[in-house]
Amino acid sequence: AQSVTQLDSQVPVFEEAPVELRCNYSSSVSVYLFWYVQYPNQGLQLLLKYLSGSTLVESINGFEAEFNKSQTSFHLRKPSVHISDTAEYFCAVSRGTGRRALTFGSGTRLQVQP
Amino acid sequence: NAGVTQTPKFQVLKTGQSMTLQCAQDMNHNSMYWYRQDPGMGLRLIYYSASEGTTDKGEVPNGYNVSRLNKREFSLRLESAAPSQTSVYFCASSEVVVDSPLHFGNGTRLTVT
């Protein structure tokens, strides 16, 4: 079975500062990795995903994540955050083969302050 | 585009009451899922349906039943609600392809007293 650990439950940061949200996973098989974002009173939306190939993946709104197989990590970064980035962020893992269902981490609440 | 629609948005039940949460998607997806979200625990899979006519247990299926009524609809039933089932419930759908993203509804906030 796979599992996901998000090390920080809350991350406060000032606007225009850089941020890193940490995610570590464990799995005995190959996996796909995802970051989802949840804005208040909404469902989750896909932010970015790693399937194979380049270990650095980017989203359309400036976030990026790097897959590190040796450290089993998939940390999410943004060089300069905006107030509108305030949301909860979930790291998730899916098995590369077999049953298709995501396992989510416990979430990190990003609070961007002016 | 409606996407994934869940009803109701809010519900309060007494212990022992039953109810069905409804979910419908208009994206012609084969796979559908029910998750619950609890503070500090992320989302946990209750049941999923890989395709019409099939359902399978997830991580926390006890106390729940599901019905994949047709390709569009996937309902979640609580036969005898318990306070431990107080949670926010999310329905999601996706293509069968393993790397396709999940599309989520806006959730049902359920309180069991």
pLDDT in tens, B53-99: 899 999 899 999 999 989 999 999 999 999 999 999 999 999 877 67
Average pLDDT, whole number, for chain A?
Answer: 90
- Find the CB nearest A42 among B43, B94, B106: B106
Q: Tally C-beta pairs within 8 A across A and B.
A: 61
B35-60 burial, b at 16+ Cβ within 10 Å, e below that, comes to bbbeeeebbbbbbbbbeeeebeebeb
- Find the CB nearest A43 among B40, B96, B106: B106
Could you tell me which residues come within 8 angstroms of residue B66 by beta carbon, excluding any fewer than 6 positions away? B34, B46, B47, B49, B55, B74, B75, B76, B77
pLDDT at residue A22, rounded to an integer:
97
Q: B21 versus A58: which is more confidently predicted?
A: B21
State how far the Cα of A38 lies from the Cα of A98, in Å rounded to an integer.
27
State how far the Cα of A4 lies from the Cα of B44, in Å rounded to an integer.
12
State how far the Cα of A5 lies from the Cα of A90, in Å rounded to an integer.
10
B48 touches chain A (CB under 8 A): yes
B44 touches chain A (CB under 8 A): yes
Residue of A70, A67, A63 lying closest to A93 (CA atoms): A67
pLDDT at residue B109, rounded to an integer:
95
Residue of B12, B35, B9 lying closest to B112 (CA atoms): B12
State how far the Cα of A88 lies from the Cα of B113, in Å rounded to an integer.
27
Report the residue of B1, B6, B99 to disrupt the A interface, i.e. the one with the largest count of A CBs within 10 Å. Answer: B99
Q: Which residues of A touch B107 (CB under 8 A)?
A: 41-43
* Cα dihedral sign, A6-A9-A88-A114: negative
Q: Give bridge partners of residue A31 from the DSSP assignment.
A: A95
pLDDT at residue A27, rounded to an integer:
79
Q: For residue A107, is pLDDT > 70? A: yes
